[in-house]
Amino acid sequence: MKDIIAEIDKYKLLGRSGSCFPTGLKWETVKNYKADKKYIICNGSEGDPANFKDGFILRNHPEKVIEGIRIALETIDNSSAYIYLRKDYFKEFGEKLKNLSFGSPITLFEKKGGYLAGEETVVCEVIEGRRPEPRLKPPFPAEAGLWGYPTLVNNVETFYAVAKISDATYEKKRFYSVSGDVEKSGVYELPEDWSVRKVLEETGNFPGFDFFVQVGGGASGEILLSDELNCKIEGMATIIVFNAKETEPFALMKKWTDFFLKENCDKCTPCREGAFRINELVEKKEIDDKILEDLFFVLENTSFCPLGKGMVIPFRSLVNKLLK
């Protein structure tokens, strides 16, 4: 078998979950750890609003996902695998994936909990039967994940890409979820270096009205104005288009605060209280720059996990670009 890690490195494949961590480095780390057991997790939790590309892949290319997992099993010694799926994906794709993975040490696991239960350390906690709360890092799952053993956690699209690299059909493309005030909402497989503008233009979704977009997720994604779209997406390839005249900024921020309040695990004070205080300001429609920046500083620097740190991105970008 070809040296798949070398091939992954050649293409500079980054994880498709949004973290952009080098896939080859993660595989190499888990492979090289000395342990009598190792685990592989295909993360199909996909809990961020307006991100639906993993569901598209599971519906249309499940055999490629299973192929990618099998390649990981062959590459990493003493390993077995889990496919971790959110509830509706488990119901829709579970039987098909079981049939495709027959004969391999692959177990399907139905996600317990909400958005945060997709974070890599929370995935480990949930599979182990504990509450969906994040672990302190380091150690990272690649060193000590499931039951303390080295664990490779990649999302659905990453395993799909690995399978494409293995059979020499990978073309440096990725999947984009496009939605909002557009004509052709959907999932598109396009070059990974395309700008936001080009994705919208080539898919027939570039608006003819005054608009702005949110990229990188429907909760923690950044707001970009229509003249800021000549950049490629870093992280999650989600693009949501908003009609500028019909979108009330405070109503949009209220959707975000509702999400962060609902999905908060309450484990750490900065995230719990930060979401509550931002929600208070949004409900009162009061934008106090000093209070907000203080809240953002605390969230970015002291939150236990990415939920709190990522919370800052949409609010800061919207306030700075639409309310000043």
pLDDT digits (tens, 9 = 90+) for 161-216: 999 999 999 999 999 999 999 999 999 999 999 999 999 999 999 999 999 999 99
pLDDT value at position 164?
Answer: 98
Domains contained in the chain, number: 3
Same domain, yes or no: 68 and 131: yes
Q: Which amino acid is at 121?
A: T
The range of the structural domain enclosing residue 267 comes to: 249-322
Of the two residues 12 and 266, the one the predictor is more confident about is: 12
Q: Is the pLDDT of residue 2 over 80?
A: no
**Average of pLDDT values for 131-135?**
91
pLDDT value at position 283?
Answer: 95
Q: What is the CATH number of the domain that holds 16?
A: 3.40.50.11540
* Cβ count near 128 (within 10 Å): 11
Q: Which amino acid is at 156?
A: V
C-alpha angle 300-303-304 in degrees, rounded to nearest 5: 140
Of 295, 286, 275, 218, nearest to 250 by C-alpha is 286
Same domain, yes or no: 226 and 308: no
> In the structure, what pLDDT confidence band is assigned to residue 306 with cuts at 50, 70 and 90?
confident
Euclidean distance between the first and the last CA atom of the chain, given in angstroms as a whole number: 57
Strand intervals (E) in 75-200 = 79-85, 106-110, 151-155, 173-180, 186-191
Same domain, yes or no: 226 and 258: no
CB contact at 8 A, 166 and 2: yes
